[in-house]
Chain A
Amino acid sequence: MAIKYLEEYRDPAITRKIVERITAISKQPLRLMEVCGTHTMSIFKSGIRHLLPETISLLSGPGCPVCVTAQNEIDAFIALSRVEDVIITTFGDLIKVPGTDSSLQTERAGGRDIRIVYSTFDALEIAKKNPNKNVVFLGVGFETTAPTIAASILAAKEMNIDNYFVISAHKLVPPALVALMSTREVNIDGFMLPGHVSVVIGTKAYQSFFKQYQTPCAIAGFEPLDILQAILILVEQIETGAPQLTNGYRRAVTFEGNVKAQKIMQDVFEIVDVKWRGIGTIPDSGLKIRKEFAAFDAQKEFAIIVSESKEPKGCVCGEILTGIKNPTECPLYQKVCTPMNPVGPCMVSNEGTCAAYDRYHSI
C-alpha cells in the first residue's frame, strides 16, 4: 500500500486565504455542528478554532461511536465478556468506557479474554485459531464500520466459521440529524456532514433530511483545508440565505455512495429503532442482524440479561452530544471526570468532545 501524506490540504497560504474569506463574509453569529468525531479531533489538532472569527461557534455532534453507545449496550458488552469461553474482540476505544458497575478494561484486568483488533477480519482469524472458544465482535459505529462488520459475517458464513458472533449496536447518521433538528433546545445553523460515512451512503442519503429542514449542509473531508472549505461553504449559504446540500469532499464522496457497501449492509442488517446515549430512542436509526444470519448474532446466541443500566449521575454527555452544552459547562468536567478517570463516554473516546476539549482546549 502506498501512503501519500496530504500536505497539499495543509497549505498555510491557501489556509490564510480561506480564513480571510470566511472572516470577510461572516456577519451574523453562527452555530455550526460537525457531526463526526474525526472532524472534532482534526479541528482541535490543527488549531482551526483559533483561526476563525468570533462569529462562528463550532459544536461537536453525536458522531463519536463510543459516545453515542447507550449505557445498556455497554453493560451488555461487559456481561458478554463474563460469559465462559467467550473472547471479546473490539476496537480500542470501547475498552475504557465505564458501564454501570464495570468496564471492559476492568474485566480484562480480572482475567477476561478481551482483545483489541484493528479489523473485523482479525476477529475472524482469532475465531479460526480458537475453535473451542466463542469469539464475539462488538459492533459499534456508523455506516463507516457497519459494512465491514457485515462483510465479516458473510465471510464467516462462507468459511463455515461457527464460533464467530457479532453484537450489533450500529447507528445511522441521517436519522440522528432529523432527531437533532426536532429537539426543541437544539439550535444549529448548519451541519458539517461526516466524510467517511458519506463515502458509504453518498450525498443522496441526506436529501430527504435537507428537504425537510432546509438547513445548510456541507459534506467535509478531514484535512484542515477540507474543514475550512466546508465552513466557508456553510457561511456563504447562511449569509446569502440560500441553504444547500453541498458535497465539499468530492475526491471521495459521490452522489450514490459506495453501492456495494450499502448492499452488503442491507443484506446482513435490518433497520430498527435504537437508543442513543443522551438523545433517547431515534426511529429507524440502528442496525440489527437479520434473521437469516441469526447464527452469528451474539444477542441471540448468548442470553444476556442486563439489570438496570444507569447513566452516570451529573454527566451531561447527552447535552454535549446535541450541542446544547459545552464540556466546560458540565459540573464534572476536569473535576471528577478526567481522561485518567472518565465518568462519561465523551471523555473516554479519543474522538469524544470532552476528551478533545481536555487535550487541546484552554490556551
Chain B
Amino acid sequence: MKIDKILLDHGSGGKMSHQLITDMILPIFDNPMLEVLHDGAIFDIAKQRMAFSTDTYVVDPIFFPGGSIGKLAVNGTVNDLAMCGAAPLYLSAGLIIEEGLSLTDLGKILKDMALAAEKANVKVVTGDTKVVPKGAVDKIFVNTSGIGLIPRQVDISSHRARPGDKVIISGSIADHGMTVLTQREGMIFNSPVISDTAPLNHMVTKMLAAHKDIHVLRDPTRGGVGTALNEIAGKSGVGIKIYEEKVPLKKEIAGICELLGFDPFYVANEGKLIAFVAPDYAEKVLAAIRADEFGQDACIIGEAIVDNPGKVIMQTSIGGSRIVDMLTGEQLPRIC
C-alpha cells in the first residue's frame, strides 16, 4: 500500500521517521551541514556580533495566495534577523505535523521552505520532526530559529528613533493579513489579493550600504504598522507623526478592510519594513529600498517628533488628526 499521508509512525523516531527525513526532507534542503544528521549543526563563526531569533508559525490556511506556512516560516525568521541589521546565515526548522497530513502537502511546504531559504541565501542546517495525533495540532505548525551576523558599526534598535528622523515604509500595508483572512473565510473578490511574504535581508543590506547608521528597523507583522510604531514611540520616547494619505495601501485591500471592519494599520504584513533614518540620509536610504525587488513602492510616511512622546498621531486624509494606539486583543487569530 502506498503511503500518502503522515502517520503517527512517521514521528516514532524509528524506521519511518528515518525514511521521512532521508527520502523527503534531506534532498530538499540538501546541504553538507544538515546531511550529517547529527544532533546539531557545527560551524565556525567569525568574531563578530550575532543576532539570534526564533518564531513559530501556525497560519491557517497553510497555503494562501503568495505563499504557504513554509515560505512564511523561513521569511519570518530571516526578516527578524534582518531587522537587527544582521545578515542571516543559518536556520533551524522544527515541524509539528498532525497525523493524516498528506505527503503531497508536506512536500509542497518543504519545497517552499527550501526556495525561500535559497532566495534569502540562508541554509537550513538542523531540524526536528514530530507527529502528533489527529486534532492535537491543525495540519502543521512550523518553528524556525536563525542566527545572523551584524556588520560592524551597525546599531539598530527600537530605542534609537530621534526627533526629526524620517519614517520610511517599504511598501503597501495589510496585504498579508487580509489575504489570509479572505482565504480562510472563503471570500472571493474580483481583484485578487496576495500575501506580501518576502525576505527583506537583501533590502536591508542595500540600505546599510547606502547609510550605516539606520536608527530603527521593524517588520510590522502581527499588530500591523500601528502597533509597531507605538512600540518604537514608547521605547524611544519620541512622538511619531504620520500622514494617512502617504501610507501605501492597495485599493482592493482598503476596500476589503472597509467591508469587514478592519483597520489596515493593525493588519499584519510579512514582507514590509519600517525604518527610522536621520533626515539627511532618508532619501538615500529610500532610494536603496526602492532598488530592491520588494521595495519598489517604498515611501516616507512621517517623522519622529518631540511632542507627544510615546504616542503615534496620524493626520487623516481629510486633515483631521487622531491617535493611532496599540492594538489590544486579537484582531485576527492565526495569521502567521
Query: Which residues of chain B are within 8 angstroms of A338 by Cβ–Cβ distance?
Result: 328
* Cβ of B14 under 8 Å from chain A: no
| Cβ-based interface call for B213 (8 A) | no
A359 to B313, CA, bound (A): 11
- In the complex the two chains form, what is the Cα distance from A362 to B252 in whole Å? 32
List chain A residues, Cβ under 8 A from B328. Answer: 338-340
Query: From residue B19, how far is it (CB to closest CB) to chain A in Å?
Result: 35
Assess whether B317 is interfacial by the CB under 8 Å rule. yes
Is A336 among interface residues, defined by CB-CB distance under 8 A? no
Stretch at the interface among A9-17, A72-80, A243-251, A262-270: A9-17
Chain A positions 324 through 357: 1 when the CB is less than 8 Å from some CB of chain B, otherwise 0? 0000000000000011100000000010000000
Q: Does B3 contact A (CB under 8 A)?
A: no
Minimum CB–CB distance for B310 against chain A, Å: 12
By the criterion CB–CB under 8 Å, are B190 and A3 in contact?
A: yes
Q: Are A45 and B263 in contact (CB under 8 A)?
A: yes
Q: Are B322 and A16 neighbours in the complex by a CB distance under 8 Å?
A: no
Is B260 in contact with A118, judged by CB distance below 8 angstroms?
Answer: yes
Interface centre among B261, B263, B316 (most CB of A within 10 A): B316
User: Quick check: A46 and B325 within 8 Å, CB to CB?
Assistant: no
Q: Which residues of A contact B313 (CB under 8 A)?
A: 363
**What does the 1/0 interface line of A85-110 toward B look like (CB < 8 Å)?**
00000000000100000000000000
- Does A358 touch B at the CB level, under 8 Å? yes
A224 contacts B by Cβ under 8 Å: yes
Contact residue among A118, A122, A359 (Cβ-Cβ distance under 8 Å from B323): A359
| Known A1-B189, A2-B190, A3-B191: A360·B255 in contact at CB below 8 Å | no
Interface set, chain A 108-159, CB cutoff 8 A to B: 118, 122
Q: Does A313 contact B (CB under 8 A)?
A: no
* Inter-chain contact B329/A362, CB cutoff 8 Å: no
B322 x A360 contact (CB < 8 A): yes
* Identity of the chain A residue whose Cβ is nearest the Cβ of B190 in the assembled complex: A2
Q: Which residues of B contact A11 (CB under 8 A)?
A: 318
A293 near B: Cβ within 8 Å?
no
Tell me which of A47-55, A165-173, A176-184, A296-304 binds B: A47-55
Give per-residue flags for B294-336: 1 if the beta carbon is below 8 A from chain A beta carbons, else 0. 0000000000000010010111111111110100110000000
Q: What is the 8 Å Cβ interface bit string for chain B, positions 176-211, against chain A (1 contact, 0 not)?
A: 000000000100111100000000000000000000
| Residue of B with least CB distance to A348 | B329
Q: How many residue pairs bridge A and B at CB < 8 Å?
A: 85
Q: Which of chain A's residues have a CB closer than 8 A to the CB of B188?
A: 1
Partner of A4 from B255, B319, B321, B322 at Cβ < 8 Å? B255
Q: How far is the CB of B181 from chain A (nearest CB, A)?
A: 9
Contacts of A44 in B (CB 8 A): 322
Q: Which of A1-54 contact B (CB under 8 A)?
A: 1-6, 10-12, 15-16, 44-51
Compute how far the CA of A16 lies from the CA of B316 in the bound complex, rounded to whole angstroms. Answer: 13
Q: A247 to B255, alpha carbons, bound, how many Å?
A: 25
A3 and B259 form a contact (CB under 8 A): yes
B256 at the interface (CB under 8 A from A): yes
The answer to whether the Cβ of B251 comes within 8 Å of any Cβ in the partner chain is yes
| Contacting pair A46 B329 (CB below 8 A) | no
Contact of A340 among B185, B323, B329 (CB under 8 A): B329
* Candidates A2, A6, A45, A362; contact of B316 at CB < 8 Å: A45
By a CB distance below 8 angstroms, the chain A residues around B311 are 363
Query: A361: CB under 8 A from chain B?
Result: yes
A341 CB, min distance to chain B CBs, angstroms: 10
Closest to B249 in A: A5
CA distance A47 to B258 in the complex (A): 17
Give complex CA distance A168, B280 in Å: 61
Q: Which one of B189, B261, B325, B329 contacts A3 once the chains associate, using CB atoms below 8 Å?
A: B189
Instruction: Give chain A's interface residues, CB within 8 Å of chain B.
Output: 1-6, 10-12, 15-16, 44-51, 96, 118, 122, 224-225, 338-340, 350, 358-363
3 smallest CB-CB distances across A and B, nearest first, come from A47-B320, A3-B255, A339-B328
Q: List 26 A-B contacts (CB under 8 A).
A: A1-B190, A3-B191, A3-B252, A3-B255, A5-B254, A5-B258, A11-B318, A44-B322, A45-B263, A45-B316, A45-B322, A46-B316, A47-B318, A47-B322, A48-B320, A49-B320, A50-B322, A118-B185, A118-B260, A122-B185, A224-B318, A350-B261, A359-B325, A363-B308, A363-B313, A363-B322
Q: A224-B318, A224-B320 are in contact. List 17 more A-B contacts (CB 8 A).
A: A1-B190, A3-B191, A3-B259, A6-B258, A12-B319, A45-B263, A45-B316, A47-B319, A47-B321, A48-B320, A122-B185, A225-B318, A338-B328, A360-B322, A363-B308, A363-B321, A363-B322
